[in-house]
Amino acid sequence: MRILIVGHGVVGKNLEEELEVLHPDVIDKYKPEENKIEVPYGVRYDIAFICVDTPIRKEERVLCDTSEVKNAIMENEAEIYVIKSTVSPGTTEQLRVKTGKRIIFSPEYYGGTQHCNNFRFDFTILGGERKACIEVIQALQHVYDARHQFRITDSRTAELTKYMENSFLATKVSFCQQFYFIASEMDVDYEELRELFVLDPRVNPSHTFVDRLHPYWSSHCLDKDVPAIADTYEASLLQEIIKFNENTKKCLGIIRKAEIPEGIKNDMLMYQAGVRRKEILKDQETP
């Protein structure tokens, strides 16, 4: 079986390791020194996993740039293409119709920190033509044992699942940060509060840590995916979470540069998080 991975960033590298028993080839036109190609040139692959970046380009008002996904599909020959990159809902179907190729979507759950990598994701979601999804499942059955769950759906639902997951994680981080600020205002130890909070079996402890030096979310995926889905569908709740996160970042930037007593710095950050009275920042305004 001939397997190709296009793109060798965080997703591509993790996928290469996971699919090791399939001996995948790797192509990254931006990192040619990392290419690993054993299949003769011109030979068609059975499955190509697309793991390229889909950045947000605010200056160009592009919420999800899928140009590299399109390029990867057009530049490499395969029987089935599996998009692992996060793309706007509807993208997979549009590409399938436009190119005439067999393309499905499968969200990835890799990350660059312990908040993701310490979890066992023993499932694979595949969205698109059922026959194509089953063919990919048959290939992946050489990787996983029978405890691994495979779920087939349509591509649009699979695409939205990824956005829902990232948006939920961002929301959860902001929620915990808000309570960190509230706890600080009340002289309550957040670590003790958090430990008691996660005792409830309905509460998953992931993403409940709060970094005192960086009490906000900042990651490659969340920074591009949450604004993309929020702005595309004018999702007011998500837009407010983004605003809360960005305001906290901005306030911290000002605080770190200014010569302000520690107590006042904390008060300013509390206010920015919506905890303290408005006069706190007003008193610190520069003429």
pLDDT tens sequence for the chain (287 residues): 999 999 999 999 999 999 999 999 999 999 999 999 987 777 899 999 999 999 999 888 899 999 999 999 999 999 999 999 999 999 999 999 999 999 999 999 997 776 666 677 899 999 999 999 999 999 999 999 999 999 999 999 999 999 999 999 999 999 999 999 889 888 899 999 999 999 999 999 999 999 988 889 998 899 999 999 999 999 999 999 999 999 888 887 776 666 666 666 666 666 665 555 444 444 444 44
Q: What pLDDT score was predicted for residue 119?
A: 72
What is the distance between the terminal CA atoms of the chain, rounded to a whole angstrom? 69
Q: Are 6 and 49 a contacting pair, CB within 8 Å?
A: yes
Q: What pLDDT score was predicted for residue 283?
A: 46
Q: What pLDDT score was predicted for residue 281?
A: 43
Q: How many angstroms separate the CA atoms of 43 and 7, rounded?
A: 19
Q: How many angstroms separate the CA atoms of 53 and 184, rounded?
A: 38
Q: Which two tokens stand for residue 233?
A: 């569908």
Q: What pLDDT score was predicted for residue 252?
A: 78
- Burial call 153-162: b when 16+ CB within 10 Å, e when fewer: bbbbebbbbb
Q: What are residue 213's phi and psi, to 5 degrees? A: -80, -25
Sequence-ordered alpha helix ranges (H) in the chain = 10-18, 67-75, 91-99, 114-117, 130-140, 155-185, 190-197, 220-232, 236-257, 262-272, 279-282
Q: What pLDDT score was predicted for residue 274?
A: 59
Q: What pLDDT score was predicted for residue 213?
A: 82
Q: What pLDDT score was predicted for residue 19?
A: 97
pTM above 0.85, yes or no: yes
Helix-helix angle 190-197:155-185, to 10 degrees: 140
